[in-house]
């Protein structure tokens, strides 16, 4: 928790400047001790419940409720929205509660929810392309989860760290981390969390050109998901069907099975909740890219129009990158009347 406090207080207001450390995303930092090792270290360092004013279940409920709020906010408006508020909340409420007196059970629950909020803050940073800071938050969340004796949240932190690394092109390190997350989930977590890790394992193996293992992991993820219980109101105890279809589409794209990937993208879009605007925009952009890659210009143009419907109001560097990709990909077709209209609309955003 002390590292989290130091990390948060070292960051300027995101609205006023670039966060510290963004230039030093470190592939060498993509190594995190496995659950058993980290858990034993964390429990060895524990020195009992802090003294002083006491906190209880009301504070646990508060952390849980704001976790759902910030997850929904990012899903609707992007990682650049309310990141300052989440940083301030951790500094002003979560960390002081961790330093206050509490029962052992309450303290561990506070650690769990603080770890989950830290994962969300890392996701916001990644979505807004503050990559080193995202990496540090995800690693910190894994350590907090170990202090909380919570392998479920640890697994999600490691899977998220791996997913971010894969997006940045660190394929081998991402595969190793994903295997670590999947192994931990198999030993300690629910079928839903196992599905979450297996779907990422499928993508990592596809990027490594291991088609057989990739498809096996994908089928395993789908089987686990079909039998899993989940709480749709808890962002850390749910894995929406739309998200699984999205991961299947990305995996099939990596395996160059583009027609099947397009079907999965469509399935993901069909299953998305209306408020999941960020995910819908990113999924739509990938579908439009895939359609254009296969020579389906008219379909791609229709899909890009849907992307431009969701894009306004998003504060997401990833979505902005998709807008740039659209303009670049359509440049060779600039004589097409609909392309010209799309370019005009994009230029106004």
Tokens for 331, please give them: 């440049």
Residues forming a β-bridge with 101 = 54
**pLDDT > 90 fraction of the chain, expressed in percent and rounded:** 83
Token pair recorded at residue 11: 């960051």
Query: In the block, which residue shows the tokens 């709480």?
Result: 231
pLDDT value at 64 more than 80 = yes
Q: Is there a contact between 1 and 112 (Cβ–Cβ < 8 Å)?
A: no
Band the pLDDT of 10: cuts 50, 70, 90: confident
Instruction: Quote the pTM value.
Output: 0.94
More confident residue, 38 or 156: 156
The C-alpha angle with vertex 131 and arms to 128 and 132, in degrees rounded to 5, equals: 140
User: Which residue, among 239, 185, 178, has the nearest Cα to 204 in the 3D structure?
Assistant: 178
pLDDT band per the 50, 70, 90 thresholds, residue 21: very low
Phi and psi torsions of 54, nearest 5°: -100, 145
Give the pLDDT band (50/70/90) at residue 45: low
* Among 282, 19, 250, CA closest to 131: 19
pLDDT band at 2, cuts 50/70/90?
Answer: confident
d(CA 222, CA 245): 9
The answer to whether residues 252 and 261 touch, using CB atoms and an 8 Å cutoff, is yes
What are the extents of the domains in the chain?
2-189, 273-349
d(CA 122, CA 184): 21
Residue 41 pLDDT exceeds 90:
no
Beta carbons within 10 angstroms of residue 17's beta carbon:
9
Q: What angle do CA 163, 164, 165 make, to 5 degrees?
A: 90
Tens-digit pLDDT profile for residues 195-247: 999 999 999 999 999 999 999 999 999 999 999 999 888 999 999 999 999 99
């Amino acid at each position: 928790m002390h590292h989290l406090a130091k990390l948060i207080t070292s960051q300027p207001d995101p609205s006023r400047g670039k966060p510290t450390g963004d230039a030093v995303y470190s592939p060498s930092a993509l190594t995190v001790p496995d659950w058993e090792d980290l858990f034993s270290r964390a429990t060895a360092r524990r020195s009992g419940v802090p003294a002083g004013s006491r906190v209880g279940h009301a504070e646990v409920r508060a952390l849980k409720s704001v976790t759902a709020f910030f997850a929904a906010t990012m899903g609707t408006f992007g990682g650049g929205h309310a990141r300052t508020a989440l940083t301030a909340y951790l500094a002003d409420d979560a960390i002081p509660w961790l330093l206050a007196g509490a029962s052992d059970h309450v303290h561990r629950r506070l650690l769990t929810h603080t770890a989950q909020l830290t994962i969300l803050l890392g996701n916001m940073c990644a979505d807004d392309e503050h990559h080193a800071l995202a990496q540090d938050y995800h690693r910190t969340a894994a350590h907090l989860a170990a202090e909380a004796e919570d392998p479920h949240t640890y697994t999600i932190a490691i899977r998220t760290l791996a997913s971010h690394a894969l997006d940045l092109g660190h394929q081998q390190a991402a595969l190793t981390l994903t295997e670590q997350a999947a192994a931990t989930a198999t030993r300690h977590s629910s079928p839903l969390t196992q599905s979450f890790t297996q779907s990422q394992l499928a993508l990592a193996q596809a990027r490594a050109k291991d088609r057989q293992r990739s498809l096996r992991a994908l089928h395993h993820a789908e089987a686990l998901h079909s039998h899993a219980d989940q709480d749709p109101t808890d962002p850390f105890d749910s894995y929406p069907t739309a998200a699984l279809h999205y991961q299947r589409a990305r995996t099939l794209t990596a395996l160059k099975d583009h027609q099947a990937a397009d079907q999965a993208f469509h399935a993901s879009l069909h299953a998305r909740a209306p408020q999941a605007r960020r995910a819908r925009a990113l999924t739509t952009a990938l579908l439009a890219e895939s359609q254009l890659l296969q020579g389906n210009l008219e379909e791609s143009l229709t899909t890009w129009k849907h992307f431009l419907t969701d894009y306004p109001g998003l504060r997401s560097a990833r979505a902005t990158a998709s807008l740039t990709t659209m303009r670049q990909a359509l440049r060779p077709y600039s004589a097409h009347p609909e392309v010209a209209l799309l370019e005009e609309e994009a230029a106004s955003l």
